[in-house]
Amino acid sequence: MATATPLVSDPALPWIERFRPVYLNDIAGNKETVERLKIIAQQSNMTNIILSGTPGIGKTTSILCLARELLDGAYREAALELNASDDRGIGVVRNRIKMFAQKKVAPPPRADSVTLGAQQALRHTMEIYSNTTRFALACNMSSKIIEPIQSRCAMLRFDRLSDEEMTKRLLEICKQEEVPHSPDGIEALIFSAEGDMRQAINNLQSTYYGFGYVSADHVFKVCDQPHPAVVSRILLSCQQGDIDVAVRGVSDLWDQGYSSIDIVTTLFRVAKLSNELEEYTKLEYIKEIGLTHMRVLDGVQTLLQLSGLMARLCQLGSAAKPS
C-alpha cells in the first residue's frame, strides 16, 4: 500500500495515513489494474471510472494517487473527494457536486455508494458536465450502482491482496517503525485481515502499542478472535468423530466471551486453509459452517446452535473415515 518510508511526517497520525501511498508506483497489489491507471495518468485522458472491490485493498488510495499524478499542483483545487457513507443524499449531488462540476478543471470526485435518487441526479450531472469533469466511483459491489451510470464508466476491479504482498508491506512498516515482531505474529496479522491491508496495518499498530511486541497471541488478543490453533484442534476432533471434545472446545470459547460470529468466522477461515482435511471433507465442512453462519446472522446466536454444528461436522468426519 505504500513505500518503505512514511509519506506523512506527523507521528501522531495513524499508520494507515502515515504510510498511505501518494503515487501509483507506491501501491502494492492489483498490478494489472494499477497499470491501467498509470496509462491514464501518462496519457492525461481519463474517462469516468468505477473501482469495485472489498474494503481496505486500495480503491480510494488509487483514485487519489491518480488525481495527484493527473493534476499535480492543481490537485487541491481541481479534485473533490466525497464519502458516500456520509454524503449520500440527493442534496449533495444537486449542490456540492453540481457546483463543483461547473468549474473548468479536470477533477475526479470519488464516492462509495449513494441513494438511488442521488444516483439518478448524478447521472444527469455526468451527462451535462462531461466536458469539464470526470467521476471516479469506489464501491464494494458494482451491482449497487444503477445501470445508466455503469454504462458511462470504465469498470476496474480490485482483488484482495495476496499473503506475500501483505507480508512485504507489513515488514517494511515494522522496519521503519522499529517494531519487534515474530514470524507467527506477521502470519496472525495476515490471517486476521483476510487481504484487507488497512485492517492489517491497524492491527499491527494496535498490537505494538498495546503489548510492545507483535506475536500471534498478542495479535489475536487485540483482534479479539479465537486462536486458530484452538479452532484447528476442534476441527480435528470433528474429523475424528469425537463430539465430546469438539463440543467442549466450543463451550470453552463461548465461556471466554467469544460471540457466535467470532467462533463461526474463525472456524470457516481455519477449515478453508487446513491441510489436514481431505478435499471433499473440507468442502462439506465449509458448506455446513456457511449454513450456520447464515443462521447466526439471522439472529440464532446460541451455544446450542454451535453444538449442533459440531454434531454435524462430527457426523461428516465419521462418514469420511475409511471403513
Residue ranges of the chain that CATH labels 3.40.50.300: 30-157
The pLDDT, as a whole number, for residue 278 is: 80
Residue ranges of the chain that CATH labels 1.20.272.10: 228-318
Angstrom distance (rounded) from CA 312 to CA 21: 47
Per-residue tens of pLDDT for the chain, all 323 residues: 444 455 555 667 788 888 888 888 888 888 888 888 888 888 877 888 888 888 888 888 888 888 888 777 655 666 666 665 554 555 554 555 555 555 544 444 444 456 777 777 777 777 776 777 778 888 888 787 888 888 888 888 888 888 888 999 999 999 988 999 999 999 999 988 888 888 899 999 999 998 989 998 899 888 888 888 888 999 888 888 889 999 999 999 999 888 888 899 889 988 888 888 788 888 888 999 999 999 888 888 888 888 999 999 888 877 766 54
The pLDDT, as a whole number, for residue 207 is: 92
DSSP 142: G
Comparing CA positions, the residue from 152, 124, 147 lying closest to residue 136 is: 152
Using CA atoms in the order 185, 158, 73, 77, what is the torsion angle rounded to 10 degrees? -110
Q: Which set of grid coordinates corresponds to residue 319? A: 462418514
For residues 162 and 31, the answer to whether their CB atoms sit within 8 Å is no
Rg (CA), the chain: 23
What is the CATH architecture of 30-157?
A: 3-Layer(aba) Sandwich (3.40)
The pLDDT, as a whole number, for residue 104 is: 45
Angstrom distance (rounded) from CA 160 to CA 140: 12
Amino acid at 102: Q
Angstrom distance (rounded) from CA 5 to CA 173: 8
Comparing CA positions, the residue from 155, 158, 165 lying closest to residue 186 is: 165
The pLDDT, as a whole number, for residue 108 is: 43
Angstrom distance (rounded) from CA 194 to CA 302: 26
Comparing CA positions, the residue from 281, 183, 270 lying closest to residue 229 is: 270
The pLDDT, as a whole number, for residue 110 is: 43
For residues 126 and 119, the answer to whether their CB atoms sit within 8 Å is no
Question: The domain 228-318: what is its CATH number?
Answer: 1.20.272.10
Q: Which residues contact 130 (CB under 8 A, 6 or more apart)?
A: none
